[in-house]
């Protein structure tokens, strides 16, 4: 870009020597474009403005459009829109279709940025003109901008579909478009999907820097700052925001500099900064953001400023700030309305009106959850739980202050695992998705074969990554819809629990609260430090893993028993008077979803059901499964004990559909599972923490993914997965779970029995045969698993204990 600037300056000098004002102006107009791309907006604006006085006709229209671009970069959107409109009018007068299309495209982007619906009309018209002119690349760029417009309206599925479609078109045209990844980054942050956003931001910073696109690179730096903020990496967020802000100031872009400043201020707020200086900076920043076209960020900054003012005892100022912020609840995007209701709730709390505050918080969560319900993909629904965090925490704080256990349970449930309270949305029957999944299986099989043979598989691994990316694109682009069921009342839970006791854990101010529901009454219990429980749970899992993998497991067995005792003393001993010897339904939090609950002394021999939430349990427990077909028994490759396990189960159930060896392909297994009353799959499993819905069960022709299980229309009523780690889930904000088990429960499976740890094949087979014998005898799944676990461990064998501890009964129990 620097060479282009040098050449254009020389062109201006040559034009001036020739005495041609028009040629000089044209060269200046081009110089303005080059300067704007290199981030020198003040100089760019000076050159284009100077050029305008000597141009007429279409040249004047192009100059007006170019000045609009410079103003657009600088964040002066209203002025940019005026120049774009002038360019459109000139183009139509002069009959210059290309100029009209370019100006409409740019005006559509500005209108979209300003929240104006007619931006889409301009973009669609621009796409039509570019297509008619045979300018395929320009048409693709405009199509991408329509995706950006959809994203800004909150239509995530539409935006994802458009971006994926245009990405393919760019590959066909063999034209890289690194700057457009900024729009993808914005979309990932809006869901949010922080892991992917981190990758996209880093790639954008690198590629845009290599191409000398300083203006776009500064925006990518800002994206990095926002991604770090979302991930809770506050020092990194502050540093990246500082670099972005410095770049914006050099480029003469005060609106963008204000946006970068808001990220740094938010990071300071989250790290505990509450000073008069930070309050003044926040108020000033909110005013700047409002004035320069960033109302959503201005709203969030104003709310933070009010909370700082309240902390400093400046109640009047806090109330004024919240009054302004609360106006957003009446209109705009779902995110803005949600924040507006949050501001209204905080204002009510300042006046001691907790009842009105709770009403405002419920309204805000209702807006958010209605918006989430229109996400078709499970992954998007689960990931978007972040948006309700502050409202749920505030409501829980009020409920805890009132000391009413039933209210605490209700507020914990309002935000918790809401994806499983929504009407499931099955992905559409997509031939392309089926084809991609089939190819993915073949590539995974090739990678596995190469690994076993000790050969490199670089090309296949690269292709595997590409196919996995395409699977996620195709599944995310589905539109959703569905009702959100209300959180359950204690009376409804009591009616379904019978003699069982439900214990829901709640994270609160660094500690753990437990609400126990027994015989129609809820009670509140304090269970100590949350970090201590997390640490002990990790120690317990580590020790159990060592028990299975070490030749000398004595030390691991001692460590496992010690950790289990400590966990039992913290989490269940304080509840002994309430739970007695009754069946237990437990709704854990965070990392404790993966705790081996069956290994805790208080759970020995007890029917224990582990659930994402009380509402998810109630839905599963009171639903009638329509799956009544014969049982399906499946064994995967490279698991001799699994083949024996399935053969023994088949001998006891002659009516079962048995799929082994080559017959146990992914498509055949998925088809057989439709409407089966029970499905038992003995196959190696892989849990993907980086992409939970790409967690797999290994079958004859390759992996069966969670994405494919999600497509089941009538999943089995009971599913037993005897594979390692098959019951593990990634935990999202709001205890939203993602993994094989969560997908099956969301699709309608009532009960899942699966492992949350690696398990030895032979001991697992013994446990499974005993479990199924009890199920055939009419014992419920949770009680059958508990009895089989107790029988397996009766001899005191450490390996048997580790095997038994690994399995959870999840869902209805």
Longest Cα pair distance anywhere in the chain, in angstroms?
102
CA Rg value for the chain? 30
Report the relative pairing of strands 511-518 and 521-529 from DSSP bridges: antiparallel
Contact residues for 360 (Cβ-Cβ < 8 A; gap 6+): 329, 341, 342, 344, 345, 348
Q: How far is CA 417 from CA 24, 108, 414, 599, 749, in A?
A: 64, 38, 9, 25, 16
Mean pLDDT score of the chain, rounded to an integer? 85
Closest listed residue to residue 282, CA positions, set 299, 272, 231? 299
Residue 182: pLDDT band with limits 50, 70, 90: confident
Kindly report, residue by residue over 475-493, the tens digit of the pLDDT: 665 555 454 556 788 888 9
What is the model's pLDDT at position 45?
83
For the cut 60, the answer to whether the pLDDT of residue 598 exceeds it is yes
Confidence tier at 723 by pLDDT (50, 70, 90): confident
The whole-angstrom separation of Cα 260 and Cα 225 is: 8
pLDDT band at 382 (very low <50, low <70, confident <90, very high): very low
The dihedral built from the CA positions of residue 167, 173, 175 and 180, taken in this order, carries a sign that is negative
Dihedral angle of Cα 393, 398, 403, 405, to the nearest 10 degrees? -50
Distance CA 725, CA 719 (A): 15
Mean pLDDT of 683-693: 78
The pLDDT tens digits for 116-157 are: 667 788 899 999 999 999 999 889 889 888 888 877 776 766
Is the model's pLDDT at 427 over the cut of 90? no
What's the N-to-C CA distance of the chain in angstroms? Answer: 65
* pLDDT value of residue 247: 93
**Are the C-beta atoms of residues 393 and 364 closer than 8 Å to each other?**
no
């Amino acid at each position: 870009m620097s060479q282009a600037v040098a050449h254009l300056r020389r062109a201006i000098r040559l034009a001036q020597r020739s005495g041609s004002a028009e040629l000089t102006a044209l060269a200046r107009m081009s110089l303005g474009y080059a300067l704007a791309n290199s981030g020198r907006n003040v100089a760019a604006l000076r050159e284009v403005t100077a050029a305008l006085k000597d141009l007429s006709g279409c040249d004047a229209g192009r100059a007006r459009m170019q000045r609009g671009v410079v103003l657009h970069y600088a964040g002066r959107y209203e002025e940019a829109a005026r120049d774009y409109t002038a360019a459109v009018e000139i183009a139509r007068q002069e009959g210059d279709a290309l100029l009209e299309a370019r100006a409409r495209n740019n005006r559509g982007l500005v209108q979209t940025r300003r929240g104006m619906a007619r931006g889409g009309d301009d973009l669609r018209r621009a796409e039509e003109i570019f297509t008619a002119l045979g300018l395929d690349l320009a048409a693709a760029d405009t199509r991408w901008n329509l995706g950006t417009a959809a994203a800004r309206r909150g239509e995530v599925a539409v935006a994802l579909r458009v971006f994926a479609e245009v990405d393919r078109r760019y590959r066909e045209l063999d034209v890289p478009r690194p700057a457009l990844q900024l729009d993808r980054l914005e979309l990932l942050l809006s869901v949010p999907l922080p892991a992917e956003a981190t990758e996209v931001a880093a790639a954008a910073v690198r590629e845009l820097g290599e191409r000398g696109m300083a203006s776009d690179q500064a925006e990518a730096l800002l994206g990095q700052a926002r991604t770090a903020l979302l991930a809770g990496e506050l020092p990194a967020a502050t540093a990246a925001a500082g670099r972005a802000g410095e770049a914006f100031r050099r480029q003469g872009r005060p609106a963008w500099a204000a946006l970068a400043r808001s990220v740094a201020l938010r990071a300071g707020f989250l790290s505990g900064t509450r000073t008069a200086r930070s309050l003044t900076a926040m108020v000033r920043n909110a005013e700047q953001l409002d004035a320069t076209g960033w109302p959503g960020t201005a709203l969030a900054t104003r709310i933070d400023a009010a909370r700082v003012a309240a902390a400093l005892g400046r109640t009047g100022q806090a109330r004024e700030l919240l009054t302004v912020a609360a106006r957003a609840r009446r209109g705009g995007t779902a995110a803005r309305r949600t924040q507006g209701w949050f501001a209204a709730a905080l204002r009510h709390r300042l006046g001691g009106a907790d009842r009105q505050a709770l009403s405002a918080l419920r309204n805000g969560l209702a807006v958010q959850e209605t918006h989430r319900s229109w996400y078709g993909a499970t992954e998007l629904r689960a990931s978007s739980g972040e948006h309700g965090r502050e409202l749920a925490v505030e409501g829980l704080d009020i409920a805890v202050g009132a000391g009413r256990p039933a209210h605490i349970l209700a507020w914990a449930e309002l935000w918790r695992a809401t994806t499983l309270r929504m009407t499931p949305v099955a992905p559409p029957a997509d031939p392309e998705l089926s084809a991609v999944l089939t190819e993915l299986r073949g590539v995974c099989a090739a990678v596995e074969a190469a690994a076993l043979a000790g050969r490199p598989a670089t090309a296949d691994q690269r292709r595997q990554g590409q196919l996995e990316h395409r699977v996620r694109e195709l599944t995310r682009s589905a539109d959703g819809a569905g009702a959100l069921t209300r959180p359950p009342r204690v009376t409804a839970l009591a009616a379904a629990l019978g003699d069982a006791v439900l214990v829901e854990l709640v994270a609160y101010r660094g500690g753990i609260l437990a609400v126990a529901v027994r015989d129609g009454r809820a009670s509140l219990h304090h269970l100590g430090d949350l970090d201590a429980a997390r640490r002990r749970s990790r120690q317990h899992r580590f020790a159990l893993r060592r028990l299975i993998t070490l030749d000398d497991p004595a030390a691991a067995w001692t460590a496992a028993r010690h950790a289990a005792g400590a966990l039992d003393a913290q989490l269940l001993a304080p509840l002994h008077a309430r739970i007695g010897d009754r069946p237990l339904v437990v709704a854990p939090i965070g990392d404790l979803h993966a705790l081996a609950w069956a290994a805790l002394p208080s759970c020995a021999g007890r029917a224990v059901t582990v659930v994402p939430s009380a509402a998810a349990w109630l839905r599963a427990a009171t639903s009638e499964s329509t799956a009544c077909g014969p049982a399906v028994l499946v064994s995967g490759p490279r698991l001799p004990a699994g083949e024996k396990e399935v053969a023994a189960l088949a001998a006891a159930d002659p009516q079962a559909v048995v799929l082994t060896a080559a017959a146990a392909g992914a498509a055949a297994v998925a088809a057989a599972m439709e409407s089966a009353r029970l499905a038992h799959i003995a196959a190696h499993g892989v849990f993907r923490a980086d992409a939970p819905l790409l967690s797999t069960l290994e079958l004859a022709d390759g992996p069966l993914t969670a994405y494919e299980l999600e497509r089941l229309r009538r999943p089995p009523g009971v599913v037993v997965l005897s594979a390692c780690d098959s019951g593990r889930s990634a935990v999202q904000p709001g205890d939203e779970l993602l993994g094989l088990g969560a997908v099956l429960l969301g699709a309608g499976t009532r009960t899942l029995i699966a492992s949350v740890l690696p398990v030895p094949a032979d001991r697992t087979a013994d446990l499974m045969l005993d479990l199924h014998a009890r199920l055939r005898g009419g014992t419920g799944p949770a009680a059958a698993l508990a009895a089989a676990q107790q029988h397996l461990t009766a001899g005191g064998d450490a390996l048997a204990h580790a095997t038994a501890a690994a399995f959870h009964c999840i869902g209805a129990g």
